[in-house]
């Protein structure tokens, strides 16, 4: 009996050990082909099924928000979409994003496809495409267009296969809901299309990196399940978590099929406590809903995100990448509100960790030039975009790196100013304030018609020199930039015609116009959606102040431009620019000296610089000038 008790105790201990460690994995092996990596992924999913739940997020544009809200955590699974791939659209780059997510980040990739009408006569909600008719006539244009689109997607999947990347593939999602064109013709047509797609991708294109996922609504809709031989996994979008809800219905309908069950989409992050009775494999939060703390969509206050992502039952990205992990913190957009051309930035490597030994060194650099050491150093950065690399070294000699992007920019004169719009898309939270809030993760979107406009009250008259519009996929094909003194009579400053489809940044520089009011007036969209703007930035100076000062700025000079350490540098500055802030910084962007000039002829001692190239920068209001000089030994 004592021997048996010892054996049972060891068995329990070993079982607990393996159950704990099943969440640790490295799923992508660069020495494996796609089929082998798919096998490793499936084994891992089966190992954790019912024990842990994988965190997922649709659209990587929300990644920074999640990391910030959760104390450095990232979803293990990232959702992507082939929307945009059809010839009438603007293109799709999500395969490249997914390859990076799996190969570089070590995560899991999931795809669905918001497939517009293959005949380009409507979006994915359009009733114009007749699926049954297309399937029944393989010589029809509709059928050939459908095959063309499938093959375009297969081509992107082939890129992932060649990179050794497996994906969860969820085609014809939510078909049973009958709100997309692939569901309008009923179950038989939809299943026929699904099997056609499966046969073409698996047998013609030899895609062996796909895990096929079917979206089912259980007993709440007609059951269009396409068959055990073509489905690896079954998922429910926006499930009912009650005792008799989605999980119970899946057990009754599919429980004997050996399929794993997941949550294909949801608004609120799934409570990991549900694992006690419902062993969902993963959840995938739908795009913008992760940012919605209200009852309407996501119900995701930041405290809830942090609680879920830090729960031991939830698998996050760090569970999939063993070894030390460097975290350079959050990318930051900082506005130079005081106009001195530099900002002090707090870097943060506290999210770095290691599961073997301790971290002994934190080193920060720009272009391989060290700018700081330590966990949370402060650095001064000039205007511009700065990619900063953190390298951590552990007591075991291992090193890992992470990057953070810090952008220092002067604020747009339209930042947080009053606005008016022609319309706002209903019920999506894309309100007008989003286009002037300084946050490029939020956007305004209009109704689906022409014309539409977005108007800003700058508060006073400005001479406008530049407008930058950050468009979402729903962009303008033809539009004008107009100014006005009273918000009623408008003058055209710029006209843009035949602009490309898709997300883009329109930088309209060298403008000559003035007014208190400025607007984007769109006359034609690039697609069926409305107009959608992340940020509407306006740059210029108050009317009547630009010309003379700008001329004086050209009369700034320094002497000598080749100087030895401890020598004095003379700065000659027109009186109209005084007082003025100055900085001396090195090529890495690190500030070596800064202060305020008050005399037209000043002398500065270059006393703390190593040999190399440096810059003297003078700033007066919105104007600045930099002069390069060299320090020699």
CATH of the domain at 436: 2.60.120.260
256-279 per-residue burial string, b: 16 or more CB within 10 A, e: under 16: eeebbbbbbbbbbbbebebbeebb
Residues 392 and 487 in one domain: no
Residues 354 and 255 in one domain: no
| Three-class SS state of 526 | coil
- Which of 495, 510, 544 is at the close of a domain? 544
Distance CA 450, CA 603 (A): 60
Distance CA 619, CA 617 (A): 7
Residues 428 and 382 in one domain: no
Residues 216 and 349 in one domain: no
Residues in the chain: 633
Is 325 inside any structural domain?
no
Residues 138 and 46 in one domain: yes
pLDDT of residue 11: 33
Question: How much is the pTM?
Answer: 0.64
Q: Where are the alpha helices (DSSP H) in 530-626?
A: 546-553
Is 246 inside any structural domain?
yes
CA angle 364, 365, 370 (to 5 degrees): 95
Residues 473 and 440 in one domain: yes
Distance CA 301, CA 268 (A): 9
- Which of 527, 544, 561 is at the close of a domain? 544
Residue 578 tokens read as 């005084």
In the Cβ-directed half-sphere of 334, how many Cα atoms lie within 13 Å? 24
SS (H, E, C) 73-142: CCECEEEEECCCCCCCCCCCCHHHHHHHHHHCCCCEEEEECCCCCCCCCCCCCCCCCCHHHHHHCCCCHH
Domain of residue 274, CATH code: 3.20.20.80
pLDDT of residue 608: 62
In the Cβ-directed half-sphere of 132, how many Cα atoms lie within 13 Å? 8
Is 88 inside any structural domain?
yes
Domain tally for the chain? 4
| 590 C-beta neighbours (distance < 10 Å), count | 16
Distance CA 42, CA 32 (A): 14
Distance CA 506, CA 496 (A): 9
DSSP assignment of 543-592, as one string?
A: TTSHHHHHHHHTT-EEE-SEEETT-EEEEE--GGG-SEEEEEEETT--EE
Residues 260 and 142 in one domain: yes
Whether residue 144 is preceded by a cis peptide bond, meaning omega within 30 degrees of 0, is: no
Give catalytic residue positions: 174, 265
Residues 599 and 530 in one domain: no
Is 16 inside any structural domain?
yes
Residues 608 and 512 in one domain: no
pLDDT of residue 449: 95
Residues 538 and 551 in one domain: no
pLDDT digits (tens, 9 = 90+) for 103-113: 999 999 999 99
Residues 532 and 601 in one domain: no
Domain of residue 404, CATH code: 2.60.40.10
| 346 C-beta neighbours (distance < 10 Å), count | 10
CA angle 82, 316, 438 (to 5 degrees): 65
How far is Cα of residue 141 from the mean position of the Cα atoms in its chain?
Answer: 37
For 387, the domain range is 332-408
pLDDT of residue 16: 33
Is 102 inside any structural domain?
yes
Is 413 inside any structural domain?
no
Beta bridge partners of 572: 557, 601
pLDDT of residue 13: 32
- Which of 485, 515, 544 is at the close of a domain? 544
How far is Cα of residue 525 from the mean position of the Cα atoms in its chain?
Answer: 24
Q: What spatial distance separates the first Cα and last Cα of the chain, rounded to whole Å? A: 83
Helix axes 187-199, 141-162, angle to 10 degrees: 50
What residue ranges of the chain have pLDDT lower than 70? 1-25, 294-297, 427-428, 544-552, 608-609, 621-622
Is 326 inside any structural domain?
no
Is 327 inside any structural domain?
no
The DSSP secondary-structure symbol of 448 reads: S
pLDDT digits (tens, 9 = 90+) for 202-226: 999 999 999 999 999 999 999 999 9
Helix (H) or strand (E) holding 189: helix 187-199
User: Which residue is listed with tokens 């267009």?
Assistant: 145
Residues 249 and 338 in one domain: no
pLDDT of residue 621: 67
pLDDT digits (tens, 9 = 90+) for 269-288: 999 999 999 999 999 999 98
User: Which residue is listed with tokens 């995560």?
Assistant: 107
């Amino acid at each position: 009996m004592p021997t048996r008790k010892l054996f049972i105790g060891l068995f329990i201990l070993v079982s607990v050990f393996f159950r704990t460690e099943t969440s640790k994995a490295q799923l992508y092996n660069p020495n494996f082909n796609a089929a082998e990596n798919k096998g490793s992924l499936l084994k891992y999913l089966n190992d954790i099924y019912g024990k842990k739940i994988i965190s997922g997020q649709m659209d990587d544009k929300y990644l920074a928000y999640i990391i910030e809200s959760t104390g450095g955590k990232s979803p293990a699974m990232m959702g992507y979409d082939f929307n945009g791939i059809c010839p009438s659209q603007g293109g799709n780059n999500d395969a490249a994003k997914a390859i990076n997510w799996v190969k570089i980040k070590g995560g899991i990739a999931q795809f669905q496809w918001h497939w517009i009408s293959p005949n380009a006569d409507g979006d994915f909600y359009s009733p114009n495409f007749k699926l049954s008719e297309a399937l029944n006539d393989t010589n029809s244009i509709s059928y050939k267009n459908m095959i063309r689109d499938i093959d375009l997607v297969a081509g992107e999947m082939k890129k992932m296969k060649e990179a050794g990347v497996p994906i969860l593939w969820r085609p014809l999602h939510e078909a049973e809901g009958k709100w997309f064109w692939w569901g309008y013709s009923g179950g038989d047509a939809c299943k026929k299309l699904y099997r056609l797609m499966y046969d073409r991708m698996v047998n013609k294109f030899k895609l062996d990196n796909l895990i096929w996922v079917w979206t089912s609504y259980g007993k709440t809709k007609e059951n269009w399940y396409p068959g055990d031989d073509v489905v690896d996994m079954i998922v429910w979008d926006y499930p009912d978590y009650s005792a008799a809800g989605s999980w119970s219905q899946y057990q009754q309908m599919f429980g004997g099929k050996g399929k794993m069950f997941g949550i294909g989409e949801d608004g609120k992050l799934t409570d990991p406590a549900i694992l006690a009775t419902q062993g969902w494999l993963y959840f995938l939060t739908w795009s913008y809903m992760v940012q919605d703390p209200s009852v309407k969509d996501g119900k995701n206050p930041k405290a809830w995100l942090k609680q879920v992502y830090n729960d031991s039952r939830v698998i996050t990205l760090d569970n999939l990448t063993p070894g030390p992990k460097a975290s350079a913190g959050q990318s930051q957009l900082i506005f130079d509100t005081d106009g001195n051309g530099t900002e002090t930035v707090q870097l943060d490597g506290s999210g770095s960790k290691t599961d073997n030994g301790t971290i002994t060194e934190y080193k920060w650099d720009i272009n391989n030039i060290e700018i700081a050491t330590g966990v949370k150093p402060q650095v001064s950065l000039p205007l511009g975009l700065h990619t900063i690399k953190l390298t951590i070294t552990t007591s075991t000699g291992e090193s890992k790196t992470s990057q953070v992007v810090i952008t220092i920019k002067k604020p747009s004169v339209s930042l947080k100013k009053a606005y008016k719009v022609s319309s706002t898309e209903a019920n999506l939270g894309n309100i007008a304030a989003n286009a002037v809030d300084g946050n490029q993760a939020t956007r305004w979107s209009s109704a689906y018609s022409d014309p539409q406009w977005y108007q800003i009250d700058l508060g006073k008259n400005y001479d406008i020199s530049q407008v930058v519009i950050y468009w979402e996929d729903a962009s303008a094909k033809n539009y004008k930039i107009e100014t006005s003194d009273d918000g009623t009579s408008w003058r055209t400053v710029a006209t843009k015609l035949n602009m490309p489809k898709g997300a883009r940044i329109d930088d309209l520089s060298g403008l000559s116009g003035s007014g208190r009011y400025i607007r984007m007036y769109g006359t034609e969209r690039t697609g069926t959606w409305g107009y959608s703007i992340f940020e509407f930035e306006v740059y210029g100076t108050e009317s009547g102040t630009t010309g003379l000062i700008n001329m004086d700025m050209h009369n700034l000079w320094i002497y000598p431009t080749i100087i030895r350490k401890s020598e004095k540098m003379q700065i000659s500055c027109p009186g109209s620019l005084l007082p003025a802030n100055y900085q001396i910084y090195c090529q890495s962007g690190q500030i070596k000296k800064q202060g305020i000039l008050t005399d037209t002829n000043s002398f500065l001692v270059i006393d703390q610089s190593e040999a190399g190239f440096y810059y003297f920068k003078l700033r007066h209001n919105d104007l600045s000038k930099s002069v390069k000089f060299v320090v020699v030994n």
